Structure 1
């Protein structure tokens, strides 16, 4: 439970950081706005022509009598739109990070410098083109994993009772995990941490990851919210990445804890070396 609280605190601290750095927040909104326009257009098209697509994909139901044909195809249309919405939530972060890679790399570096005891930030040393290629490649790999989970959860959704109660909850935790992976990748990739290593780090601290990513995934379901939370989510994920790697986090004047002599925030249940918000 403590890691859940800490993960959520990182999310809040990230939002507070961008609130104090208005210029970074403004730049960070641009990629999200571009992605939002693209996704809204795709979802509107799915809403308008989803029934036609379902009708084309189910020719075997053409001769079914009323009301069974309408009920069957109506159900599939709703499921298709729900699946499209789930995929939009799962992939929004990846697409936004890809579009806004230079913006978010700069933001993440500034967060690192701000909270690092020595005021420095790790640098990848790679060219922008190379960074973009690695980000795109890893995003596709994560997307494949997310699609496997989406299909599995979609199938489990047909189980009576559990499909309408337990499965959606699992879906939110899965979404939170993948959101956190995509967001922490900005800071971890800059440190040379490969995808397999990143997944290992995240799986070792699942409750921390869920505390950060699951509330964010729920918030992303609200129209337009994802755009405004993305800059702070990247900032918070940078703090979380430092925690995963055991790096110190300094935040002067943090209201949630007392600082030690080195300027690190100390909490009653933590040692100075592992102090986290």
Structure 2
């Protein structure tokens, strides 16, 4: 059940950050990065507007005491923390939906750079546009896999005592999902279905969790999460190239 090498997995994200600086990959990093910056700014603006309205409503319910009305800064600190958390997880989901066609092609170019082998997927920009429905469907499959399991963990988290274990399971599940999310791009390029990918990653679960851990942590840091997505795609491709070709002896 726990095969693979956790410490090998930890190094793939750092390798991804090195790969995104390669001249042949930069274009397919810059384009989704620009889209992500626009998306991040829009989400931040909408959430800030929403919480400003929420704070104004909450302050309106309070008695008209000067010392209570002066606590609006405390509300902004509390809601600011909520904004950051919502922004982190919401951003990753939406960014992957928008950038999925670019990330698939980025994974293809990264694999070619690492192996010197051509996957035989030609067509350039026209093919990238044609692949949009397929790329979106792969993202929907991942969301459909994620939601019922996340709901189950959420329910466990409401049970006293059990919720202590649920917190650990929730974190491990997020690491697992990050590995699934990004290794899916090179797997799709190699005609591996999403169910089969889950089986293959399960055979190297420790390596997958090692890769997913720093990705999950970096995705929670505003600004850094703008860059972690393309780096995770490149790192996941390095994971795919090396881990999928190793015998399961570790």
Query: Is the shorter-chain TM-score for this pair beyond 0.5, marking a shared fold?
Result: yes
Q: Deviations over 1:221-268 (max 9, x none)?
A: 11222111112111001111223431xxxxxxxxxxxxxxxxxxxxxx
Tell me which residue corresponds to 2:14. Answer: 12
Tell me which residue corresponds to 1:107. Answer: 106
2-side partners of 1:206 and 1:50: how far apart? 43
Tell me which residue corresponds to 1:31. Answer: 35
Tell me which residue corresponds to 1:142. Answer: 142
**CA 1:125–1:203: 2 relative to 1, 3 Å:** farther
Tell me which residue corresponds to 1:65. Answer: none
**CA 1:167–1:195: 2 relative to 1, 3 Å:** same
1-side partners of 2:178 and 2:46: how far apart? 21
Q: Does the CA contact (< 8 Å) of 1:123 and 1:191 recur in 2? A: no
Aligned pairs for 1:1-277 (under 5 A) are: 3-21=5-23, 23-24=26-27, 25-41=29-45, 43-44=47-48, 47-48=51-52, 85=85, 89=89, 92-116=91-115, 119-124=116-121, 127-163=127-163, 165-246=164-245
- Report the alpha carbon displacement of residue 15 of structure 1 after superposing the two structures with TM: 0.9
* TM-score, structure 1 as length reference: 0.66
Taking only aligned residues, the RMSD between alpha carbons, in angstroms, comes to 3.4
How many residues align? The count is 221
- Structure 1 unaligned residues grouped into runs of 5+: 53-76, 247-272
**CA 1:125–1:196: 2 relative to 1, 3 Å:** farther
1-side partners of 2:87 and 2:192: how far apart? 26
Q: Does the CA contact (< 8 Å) of 2:88 and 2:222 recur in 1? A: no
SS at match of 2:117: coil
1-side partners of 2:45 and 2:146: how far apart? 22
* TM-score, structure 2 as length reference: 0.72
SS at match of 1:19: coil
Tell me which residue corresponds to 2:71. Answer: none
